Structure 1
Amino acid sequence: METQAPAQRTVDVNTVSGLALTAILNMPEFTGDPERLADFLEAASAAGAHLRSVNTLLPPEVVNNIYGILIRKISHQVRAECGITGSTEAAEVARLLSERYGGARRPPARLAIKLLRMRRAHGEIPSAYMHRVDQAFRLVKARMAAVETAGVATAKLAVIEELLREAVLAEMPEKTRRQLKALANANFGVLLAQVDEEEDDYQAAREDAATWTRVERRSERRPDRDHERRAPPNPPPQVRREQPARFRPVGDQRRGERRERLRCWECGSTRHLARSCPQIYRRDQQEAGRRPRPEPMEVNAVRGPRRGPRDGNISYASTGSFSSAYDYSSDEDWPVLPQRTQRQGRKAERRISGATSASPPDPGAKGQPKGSPSQGQ
C-alpha cells in the first residue's frame, strides 16, 4: 500500500494538470472585445478549477508557470489598461476585466448616453472615429445583454442604434455623409465597413499622388521615354486638396503639367536663381584677395590664329603667368589678313607716301582760305 500510493497520486496530478494546461492553450486571446469577455471568463474559470484541484500537489513554480500562461492569454494592451500583472489573483483579474470591458458597475443607460455624446476629435479621420464608436457600442450591447432579457435588450438596442446613426452622420464629412445616407436601412456594421472602404481608397490615392512625376506635353512625348514618367493628367478628386502645391495643376491650359518651383543651385532657395545668388557674390568677395594676380598677356597671343581650342594654345602656370603655344618669331604663325584688309593697307600706304613726297604746308598760312590775297604777297 505504501509503495502504490505515490504512483497513483502522480498519475492523478499529471492528468489534471494536463487538462488545465490544455484548456488554457485552447483559449482564444482576449483583445478587449466586450462580446467575447463572457466566453473568456468562462474558459478561464474552467481552467482555474482544474488548476485549483492540484494546486497543493504541484510545486509552486509549476503553478506559477501555468498561471503565467493564462495571464498571457490577455493582450498586452488590455493588461496595461487594467493594471494586471503576473502576481494578480484570478478573482481580481476577473473583476478588473468585468469593470473595464463588461460595464459591471455602470448601468446600460449611462453607457448609452456616453455613446451618443461621442464626438470626432479635431484631425481624427472618419474610420478611426467609427471604430472608437463601435468599441463603445459593443460595450453597451454586452452590458444590455447582461442585465436585460433578450426581447427588452433587442428593442432598446434598436432605438440606441437609430440614435447613434444620426449622431455619427452629423460628425462625418459632407461626401461621406451622402454615401452613408444612401444606405437607408443598413445597420452600424455596414456603415463601418463603408467608411473603412472609403478610407482605404483615400490612402491608396494619396500614395499614388505622392509618387507622380511631371507629365510631358504631347509635343515632348517620344517613344524612347520611360513609361513611368507618364501619369494621368490630374490626380483624382479625393486628393486634390491634400496634395502639396508642386503637384497641383497650374491651369486648364496646361493641365498635363505640374509646376515645381525653381531652386537656386548654390543655396537651394526658391526666391532667386543661381545667376543672382548672394552666396556667389560673397564667395567672390572673400576669394578676391586670395587669387594670384596674373601677368598681362601678349596681344598677339590672343589675336593670333587659333589652330585648336584656346585652352590648348594658352596655358596658365602655377606662378601666375600665361604662356602661348604660338611661335611669333616665325612668319608662319603671324595672322594672315584677308584680301580686303590687304587692299586697305595698300591704299593707306599710298596716302602716306603721297603726303610725305609733297612739300609741307606753310605754318603761317594755316586757317586761311585757298587763293587768299596774303598767299600772293
Structure 2
Amino acid sequence: MLIGVPKEIKNHEYRVGLTPASVRELVGRGHEVIVETQAGAGIGFEDEAYVKAGASIIDTPEEIFATAEMVVKVKEPQPHECRQLREGQLLFTYLHLAADPEQARLLAESGATCIAYETVVDRNGGLPLLAPMSEVAGRLSVQAGAYHLQKAQGGLGALLGGVPGVAPAKVLVIGGGVVGTQAATMAVGLGADVTILDRSLPRLRQLDTEFAGRVKCVYSSTESIEQYALEADLVVGAVLIPGAAAPKLLSRELISRMKKGSVIVDVAIDQGGCFETSKATTHQEPTYVVDGVIHYCVANMPGAVARTSTMALNNATLPFALALADLGAEEALKRDANLLPGLNIYKGQVTCEPVAQALNTEFVAPADLLG
C-alpha cells in the first residue's frame, strides 16, 4: 500500500502522523511511504531520517492526497484537505466529528473511508489510541493551570503547593478517567489540595485506593460540582463520552460566581467543551477571560510537547496502521472488532452512532455497509 504523511497545518501543531521508526516498520512489510518535506522537522525528525527509514520525500501535500492510498495524520483535516480526499481513499487520524458538522459533511462528500483514533476500542472497552494523548493532556492541564494562576498571567497569584504556613491551592478535577487521573497525579505531586468528581462509584473506590487518601474522591452531582467549583483555584474539565459531544457541566452562571483570577482548563474542548463558556483556542493565544475567570481551551494541548506526544501516539497507532496497510481497510475492519468502532465515515455515511446523535444525522451500522 502507498501511505502518505502530510505536514500538520493547525496553529502550532508540530506532531506528525508517522515517526521514522514507524515508517521503517511499514517499509519492512513491503509498503511504500511518502512524507511531505519537513513534516517532522519541528520535533527533530528531519527528512534525512525518513529517507534512511525508507520513505520518499514529497514537496507538496497536494501530491500526497492525490496519490496515497492511506493518509496518516494527527489532527483532523482542515476544509481544503477534506476536499482533496477522494472516494475509496483511507484517512487514519483524530477526527472529533461530534463538534464539527462541517468536517463531517466534507468527509462524507469525499467518499473516503475515515477511521478516527478516538473511537477505536480495546478488548476492555478502553480507548487505546486516545489514551496516550489523554495522558499527556491530563498532565499538561495542571502545568498550564499552574502557570496561568500566576499574577503576571492574569491569575489570582496562587502557588499550587502553597508554602509552610500558607494553604495549598484547591484543584477540582471533573472526571476520573485517564485525563482526570493524570491531572490529579500532577496536582498531588505539586502539593495541591485535590478533589476528583466522578459518577462511577467503582471508579471512585479505585481512585481512593490509588491515591491512598491524598485526593478527595466525591460523587459528581449538580450540588457537588457547584460546591467544589466555587472553592477551586483551578478546575480541570476531564469528562469524555466516546465519540459524542461533551456535556456542559459548568454553567455560565456558576462560572460568574467563581473566584476572580481562578483558572479553568477544558480538556474536553475537542468534543465541544464541558463548560458553557468554552470555545477553542490555540497555543498562540491559549486563554481568554469570562467574568474574571481565565479559560484555557487549547484544542491540541499535546502539541505543546509534540515530540513526546508523537512518539507516544505512534506506539499506540502503529499496530493498527500495519493491519490497515497489510489487509486493506475493509478486510482489517471485518477482522478486528476493536478497530471497527473507529470507522466514522464510510461510503458517504456516518457510521459512528454517538457522532450521528451529536450531529442529528442518520446513523448507518458499519457492519451493514461492510457486508
Higher RCO by CA contacts (8 Å cutoff, separation 6 or greater) = 2
| Higher-strand-fraction structure | 2
TM, length-normalised to structure 2: 0.18
- Which of 1 and 2 has greater Rg? 1
TM, length-normalised to structure 1: 0.18
